[in-house]
């Protein structure tokens, strides 16, 4: 899920959140946005604030999918009306 934090507090979360980790969050807000969504079908964004508590969770059971992305070939990409981020990877780099 996509999350944001204001400029003046974002530094609190740099050492607490790492890509691929699973976290328990407490004291955050949820916003609905219609612009610049990371996930096309998910309009929700978590808003981190000064009272947000972050705790890393150990997933020893392996119950979470690590990379739940749906990859699409370039020719099958659909226009997003500038509302969604689209990432591309070039596997033909020598």
Range of the domain at 36: 2-59
Residue 52 lies in a domain: yes
Read off the pTM. Answer: 0.57
* Number of domains observed in the structure of the chain: 1
Residue 93 lies in a domain: no
Assign residue 14 a region (left: φ > 0; alpha: ψ between -120 and 50; beta: otherwise). alpha
Residue 85 lies in a domain: no
pLDDT category at 3 given cuts 50, 70, 90 is confident
Q: What pLDDT, in 10s, does the model give residues 10-67?
A: 999 988 988 778 888 999 999 888 776 666 777 888 899 999 999 998 877 777 766 6
Residue 49 lies in a domain: yes
Residue 74 lies in a domain: no
Residue 82 lies in a domain: no
Q: How far apart are CA 43 and CA 47, in angstroms?
A: 13
Query: By the 8 A CB rule, do 18 and 57 touch?
Result: no
Q: β-pairing, 44-48 with 29-32?
A: antiparallel
Q: What pLDDT, in 10s, does the model give residues 64-89?
A: 766 666 667 777 777 767 666 556 55
Residue 72 lies in a domain: no
- In 3D space, the residue among 81, 92, 86 whose CA is nearest the CA of residue 71 turns out to be 86
């Amino acid at each position: 899920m996509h999350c944001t934090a204001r400029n003046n507090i974002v530094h609190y979360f740099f050492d607490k959140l790492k890509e691929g980790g699973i976290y328990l969050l407490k004291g955050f807000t949820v916003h609905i946005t219609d612009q610049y969504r990371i996930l096309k079908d998910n309009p929700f964004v978590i808003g981190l604030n000064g009272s947000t508590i972050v705790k890393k969770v150990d997933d020893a059971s392996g119950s979470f999918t690590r990379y739940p992305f749906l990859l699409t070939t370039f020719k099958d990409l659909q226009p997003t009306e500038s509302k969604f981020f689209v990432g591309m990877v070039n596997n033909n780099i020598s």
